[in-house]
């Protein structure tokens, strides 16, 4: 391949990073014994949604950033041969079928992990994944941000990246004063749902929000992010924050795009949000939804 063709060759997203090493302090006392990533969403752990989103987007290589006591998060996706054999011997075929459905759904997933021994911010989590990611662009899915949409959220960003070949930040519009609780962006509109990001403000003061567009836990990043994370300053809590690296890139004239994601953003960062999101998904469930809707009518 000659030099001209190399220049024209487009980068492809073939891996995603899923940070799950946080302490989950907002979910105490549950997280005294189990990580937040295994909190139930309807009838499965929350982390299953992230892996499913990646696979449904055509990505089978998934890097989870975990702490040393979180390997059970990975265990969910491993076949449970002993349990399956026991269920088969007992004739518990309905339960056996449910286990095999999970095996079948996540078959072909290449799941690896990177260790973040001490939670030091989302930027540090991404930096820990560098050896697993290599030099290629990659997606990032924060497991406590779920999306209910026809097209998987990360797939929407990948589509934009195929043309833009620049980092993409997932965005959602937030109504009213709630925007001050989020990282939000100052933008220049490029096309429908697509923006060039001029500035990122983390939890701006009420009335000083640069827009109604919030950063919502989905990214496509290029290898260049590691250079900026390596030299980024820690915040007052001693954390390395991804947004800080983005702002430094923007300050250096680097182009970062924002894409407004279509679909419902189901937040799970706090207990009340998780409860609402779990109920929302339960009501959409083909088996459980109708029964729960009828039950809710009776307890009003």
Q: Domain ranges for the chain, please list them.
A: 8-286
pLDDT at 1: 41
Q: What is the mean pLDDT of residues 182-211?
A: 87
Q: Mean pLDDT, the chain, as a whole number?
A: 89
Each residue's pLDDT tens digit, 289-299: 999 999 998 88
**Domain 8-286 - what CATH class?**
alpha beta
Please determine, for residue 15, whether its predicted confidence score (pLDDT) is greater than 70: yes
Q: Give the other-Cβ count within 10 Å of 64's Cβ.
A: 27
pLDDT at 237: 84
The Cα–Cα gap between 150 and 210 comes to 29
Percentage with pLDDT > 90 across the chain: 58
Structure tokens at 199: 């500035």
Give the angle 108-112-116 at the CA atoms, nearest 5°.
Answer: 155
Q: Give the other-Cβ count within 10 Å of 73's Cβ.
A: 25
Q: What is the mean pLDDT of residues 276-295?
A: 94
Band (pLDDT 50/70/90 cuts) for residue 31 is: confident
Alpha helices of 64-140 — where are they, by DSSP H?
72-75, 81-90, 93-105, 122-128, 130-133
Please determine, for residue 127, whether its predicted confidence score (pLDDT) is greater than 50: yes
pLDDT at 157: 97
C-alpha dist (Å) from residue 99 to 88, 280, 291: 11, 24, 23
Q: What is the mean pLDDT of residues 73-93?
A: 89
Could you tell me whether strands 138-141 and 61-66 are parallel, antiparallel, or unpaired per DSSP bridges? unpaired
pLDDT at 3: 46
C-alpha dist (Å) from residue 10 to 16, 65, 160: 18, 27, 13
Pick the most confident of 74-83, 169-178, 214-223. Answer: 214-223
Q: Measured on CA atoms in the order 26, 30, 36, 40, is the torsion positive or negative?
A: negative
The Cα–Cα gap between 53 and 50 comes to 5
Q: What is the mean pLDDT of residues 227-249?
A: 88
pLDDT at 220: 97
What are the φ and ψ backbone dihedral angles of 192, each rounded to 5 degrees?
A: -60, 120
Please determine, for residue 223, whether its predicted confidence score (pLDDT) is greater than 80: yes
Please determine, for residue 300, whether its predicted confidence score (pLDDT) is greater than 80: no
What are the φ and ψ backbone dihedral angles of 244, each rounded to 5 degrees?
A: -60, -40
Band (pLDDT 50/70/90 cuts) for residue 2 is: very low
pLDDT at 4: 47
């Amino acid at each position: 391949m000659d030099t001209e063709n190399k220049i024209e060759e487009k980068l492809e997203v073939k891996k995603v990073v899923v940070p799950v090493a946080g302490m989950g302090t907002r979910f105490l006392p549950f997280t005294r014994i189990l990580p937040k990533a295994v909190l139930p969403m309807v009838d499965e752990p929350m982390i299953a949604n992230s892996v499913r989103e990646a696979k449904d987007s055509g990505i089978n290589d998934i890097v989870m950033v975990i702490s040393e006591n979180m390997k059970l998060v990975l265990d969910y996706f491993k076949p449970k041969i002993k349990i399956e054999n026991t269920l088969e011997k007992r004739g518990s075929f309905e339960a056996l079928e449910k286990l095999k459905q999970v095996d079948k759904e996540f078959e072909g997933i290449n799941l690896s992990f990177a260790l973040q021994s001490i939670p030091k911010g989302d930027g540090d989590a991404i930096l820990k994944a560098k050896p697993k990611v290599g030099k290629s662009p990659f997606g990032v899915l924060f497991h406590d941000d779920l999306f209910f949409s026809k097209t998987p959220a990360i797939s929407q960003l990948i589509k934009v990246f195929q043309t833009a070949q620049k980092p993409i930040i997932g965005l959602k519009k937030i109504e009213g004063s709630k925007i001050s609780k989020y990282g939000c962006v100052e933008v220049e509109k490029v096309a429908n749902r697509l923006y060039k990001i001029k500035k990122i403000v983390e939890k701006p003061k009420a009335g000083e929000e640069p827009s109604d567009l919030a950063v919502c836990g989905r990214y496509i990043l290029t290898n260049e992010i590691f250079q900026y994370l390596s030299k980024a300053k820690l915040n007052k809590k001693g954390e390395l924050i991804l947004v800080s690296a983005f702002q430094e890139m923007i300050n250096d004239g680097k182009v970062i795009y924002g894409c407004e994601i279509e679909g419902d953003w189901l937040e799970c960062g706090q207990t009340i949000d998780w409860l609402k999101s779990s109920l929302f998904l339960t009501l959409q469930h083909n088996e459980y939804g109708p029964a729960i809707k009828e039950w809710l009518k009776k307890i009003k």
